[in-house]
Each structure stands twice: as C-alpha cells, then as structure tokens.
Amino acid sequence: MTQEAERGSATVWVVALAGVLALVGLAGVLVGAAAVARHRAGSAADLTALAAAGRAVLADPQACAVAGGIAAENEARLDDCAVHPGAVVEVTVSVRVALGPVGVRTATAHARAGPVGGPAP
C-alpha cells in the first residue's frame, strides 16, 4: 500500500475515538445524575422522618401531613408514612430525575426516626 491509499485514515480513527469518548462521557453524566438523585432522596427521607417523629412525640395526629410538607419542600414525594407505637415513624419518599435519553426515573429512599430508646421493629 502506498501512502496515497492511506490518506485520511487518521481522520476516521479520530472521529471514531471522539464518538467513543462522547458515549463514555454521557454514561458518566447519567450515572452521576442518578447517584445525586439517590442522595437527594435519602436526605429528603431522613428530614421527613425526623420532622414527623418530632410531631409524633407531641402526639400530633397530623405527623404524616407534616412529613408530606417537608418532603415537598425537598422536591420529593411522600409515598408512605406510618406512625408506630412509641412515636417511631417510618417514611418512604421518592425523587424524580430526568436522565436525558434514558427518560425520567424515580429514586426511592426509606427512613425511620423516633425517640432514643423507642421500641424495636
């Protein structure tokens, strides 16, 4: 083969490598966005459970309503809330995350809070 026959082949390789690097970069961004959503859901669940437990200790029958408000303020949705004996509260919250070409997904987290020395589940 002569040099004339191979002319332009480096351009093809560079374009192919750029495409592969772009796909790897996109995958990294999507994984990062999913991880951030999971951490947001965990934080929202913790705050929601603590707020509801604080109300449950005071025997407030609206503890789960307060939890719903706290979840909403953290851009999350309260999926489940249960007040157990001893003012122990369990919540499940979800956070929606847009992952571009993958679509919109939901990150879910569960938390439990109550007074120290409360009953075990």
Q: How far is CA 107 from CA 21, 36, 75, 95, 96, in A?
A: 27, 9, 12, 5, 6
For residue 72, is it within any domain?
Answer: yes
pTM of the model as a whole: 0.76
Q: What is the pLDDT of residues 46-66, one digit of tens each?
A: 999 999 999 999 988 899 999
For residue 30, is it within any domain?
Answer: yes
Residue 34: predicted pLDDT: 87
Number of structural domains (the chain) is 1
pLDDT at 44 over 60: yes
Q: Which of 61, 91, 62 lies closest to 79 in space, CA to CA?
A: 91
For residue 41, is it within any domain?
Answer: yes
For residue 46, is it within any domain?
Answer: yes
For residue 121, is it within any domain?
Answer: no
For residue 120, is it within any domain?
Answer: no
For residue 4, is it within any domain?
Answer: no
Q: What is the identity of the amino acid at 24?
A: V
Q: What is the pLDDT of residues 99-115, one digit of tens each?
A: 877 788 899 999 999 88
HSE (CB half, 13 Å, CA atoms) of 100?
A: 10
Domain that holds residue 63: 9-113
In this prediction, what percent of the chain has a pLDDT beyond 90?
Answer: 55
